[in-house]
Chains A and B, each alone.
Chain A
Amino acid sequence: MGGAVTAAPPMALLAELTYRCPLRCGYCANPTDWRGYGRELDGDAWRRVVREAGALGVLHLHLSGGEPLLRDDLEDIAREGRDAGLYVNVITSGFGATRARVEALAAAGVDHVQVSLQDADGERGDRVAGVRAHDHKLVVARMVRDAGMELSINVVLHRGNLARTGEIIALAASLGAQRLELANTQYHGSALANRADLLPARAQLDAAFAVARAAQRDLAGRMDVIYVVPDWFADAPRPCMDGWGRRFMTVIPDGTALPCPGAHGLPGFAFDNVRDRSLDDIWYRGADFERYRGTAWMAEPCASCERREVDYGGCRCQAFALTGDAAATDPACAKSPHHKLIRDEREGPRGEPAVLYRIDTTRARR
Chain B
Amino acid sequence: MVPSLARRARVRWDAARDCHVLLYPEGVLVLTPEAAEVIERIDGARSVEAIVDALAGEHPEAPRDVIDGDVRELLERLAARGFVRWEAP
Contact = CB atoms under 8 A, between A and B. Distances in A.
Top 5 closest A-B pairs, CB basis?
Answer: A57-B16, A87-B23, A112-B25, A9-B16, A150-B8
Contact of B28 (A11, A56, A112, A178): A11
A89 interface: yes
Given A87-B10, A150-B7, A178-B82, A9 B17 contact: yes
23 contacts: A56-B16, A57-B15, A57-B16, A57-B17, A59-B21, A59-B23, A60-B23, A60-B28, A85-B12, A87-B10, A87-B23, A87-B24, A111-B10, A111-B23, A112-B8, A150-B7, A150-B8, A150-B25, A152-B25, A178-B25, A179-B25, A179-B26, A221-B80
Contacts of B80: 221
B43 interface: no
Contacts of A60: 23, 26, 28
B64 to A, nearest CB: 31
B13 to A, nearest CB: 9
Contacts of A56: 16
Number of contact residues on B: which range applies? 10 to 19
Contacts of B28: 11, 59-60
Contacts of A96: none
A280 to B, nearest CB: 11
B73 interface: no
Number of contact residues on A: which range applies? 10 to 19
B87 interface: no
B53 interface: no
B37 interface: no
Interface of B: 7-8, 10, 12, 14-17, 21, 23-26, 28, 80, 82
Interface string A330-351: 0000000000000000000000
Contact of A111 (B8, B17, B21): B8
A89 B25 contact: yes
Interface string A32-61: 000000000000000000000000110110
Nearest to A222: B82
Contacts of A9: 16-17
Contacts of B16: 9, 56-57
A148 interface: yes
A11 B24 CA distance: 13
Contacts of A11: 28
